[in-house]
C-alpha cells in the first residue's frame, strides 16, 4: 500500500470509531494535515449526527465547510468527546511531535478540551525516539532571534520556516538535531522560553488511542 492509501485507511478507521463512540449531537474536534483531511472526508457522510466541529486551522475549516459541517467557535463549546488528528512522529507512549503543517497551537488547544485524543498515522510515523522530524515551535515574531538562541542552548539547531505565517500571525522555528529522550520535560522547558507560543511536543497531553496504518491493516495502540 502507498502512504496515501494508509492515510485513507486510518481516516476511515477514525470515522468508524467516532461514529460508534461519539454521542448524537456531539461536537467533534478536528485536526489538520493530509491524514486529518482523510478523516474529514470519511466522517462527512455522518455529519448530520453531530452538532458540528471545532477546527484546528483555517485549512481544515474550509474542508469541513465544503462538506456542509457547521464549524463552531471553541468558546461556544463546553465538551468535545473526541479529537482526531495526525502526527509527524509518535512513540509507543503516544507522545507526539506535531506541527509540520504549522497548526500546532490551535491543535493543542482543541486537544486540551477533548476527552479523547485519537491519533491517526501511517506506520512511518511510529518511532522509538522522537526528534528526527524537526520540532516546530511557534514564536511571537519579535522574539524570533532570542528564542532561537535559547533553543540552541538546549542542543537543537533552530531554522526559521521561510515564508510561513501561522493562522495566529506568528512564525515557526523548526528545531533540528534533537534526540527527545524526555518528551514531557522538553515540552515544559521550551514552553518556558519567553516569546514561545507553544511547541509541537504533545506529551503532557498525548494521544489516548493511536490508529496506525500498516500494510497488514489498521492497528490500534492504547
Footprint on residues 93-122 left by ligand 5RP (CB under 6 A): 98-104, 107
Write each residue from 56 to 85 as x if it is in contact with ligand 5RP (CB under 6 A), else as -, in one continuous string. -----------------------------x
Q: Is the dihedral of CA 132, 138, 141, 147 positive or negative?
A: negative
The bridge status of strand 80-85 relative to strand 96-97 is unpaired
For position 166 contacting ligand 5RP by CB under 6 A, the verdict is no
Q: Which of 29, 33, 131, 134: binder of ligand 5RP (CB under 6 A)?
A: 33
For position 156 contacting ligand 5RP by CB under 6 A, the verdict is no
Rounded to an integer, what distance in angstroms lies between the CA atom of residue 77 and that of residue 178? 37
Stretch that binds ligand 5RP, among 25-33, 44-52, 67-75, 178-186 (CB under 6 A): 25-33
CB-nearer residue toward ligand 5RP: 80 or 153: 80
How many CA atoms are closer than 13 Å to the CA of 120, on its beta-carbon side?
34
Rounded to an integer, what distance in angstroms lies between the CA atom of residue 119 and that of residue 116? 10
For position 191 contacting ligand 5RP by CB under 6 A, the verdict is no
107 is catalytic: yes
What are phi and psi for residue 213, nearest 5 degrees? -85, 115
Q: Which of 6, 13, 14, 31: binder of ligand 5RP (CB under 6 A)?
A: 31
3-state secondary structure of 82: strand
Rounded to an integer, what distance in angstroms lies between the CA atom of residue 107 and that of residue 57? 8
Active-site amino acid positions: 107
Contacts with ligand 5RP by CB under 6 A lie at 31-36, 85-88, 98-104, 107
Amino acid at each position: 500500500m502507498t502512504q496515501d492509501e494508509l492515510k485513507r485507511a486510518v481516516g476511515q478507521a477514525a470515522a468508524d470509531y467516532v461514529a460508534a463512540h461519539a454521542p448524537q449531537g456531539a461536537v467533534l474536534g478536528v485536526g489538520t494535515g493530509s491524514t486529518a483531511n482523510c478523516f474529514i472526508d470519511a466522517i462527512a457522510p455522518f455529519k448530520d449526527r453531530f452538532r458540528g466541529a471545532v477546527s484546528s486551522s483555517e485549512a481544515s475549516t474550509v474542508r469541513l465547510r465544503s462538506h456542509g459541517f457547521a464549524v463552531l467557535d471553541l468558546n461556544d463549546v463546553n465538551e468535545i468527546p473526541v479529537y482526531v488528528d495526525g502526527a509527524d512522529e509518535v512513540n509507543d507512549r503516544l507522545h507526539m511531535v506535531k506541527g509540520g503543517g504549522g497548526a500546532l497551537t490551535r491543535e493543542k488547544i482543541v486537544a486540551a478540551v477533548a476527552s479523547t485524543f485519537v491519533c491517526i498515522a501511517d506506520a512511518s510515523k511510529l518511532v522509538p525516539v522522537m526528534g528526527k522530524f524537526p520540532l516546530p515551535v511557534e514564536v511571537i515574531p519579535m522574539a524570533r532571534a532570542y528564542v532561537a538562541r535559547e533553543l540552541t542552548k538546549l542542543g537543537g539547531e533552530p531554522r526559521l520556516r521561510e515564508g510561513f505565517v501561522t493562522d495566529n500571525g506568528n512564525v515557526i522555528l523548526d528545531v533540528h538535531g534533537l534526540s527527545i529522550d524526555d518528551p514531557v520535560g522538553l515540552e515544559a522547558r521550551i514552553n518556558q522560553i519567553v516569546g514561545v507560543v507553544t511547541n509541537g511536543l504533545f506529551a503532557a497531553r498525548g494521544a489516548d488511542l493511536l490508529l496506525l496504518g500498516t500494510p497488514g491493516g489498521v492497528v490500534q495502540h492504547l
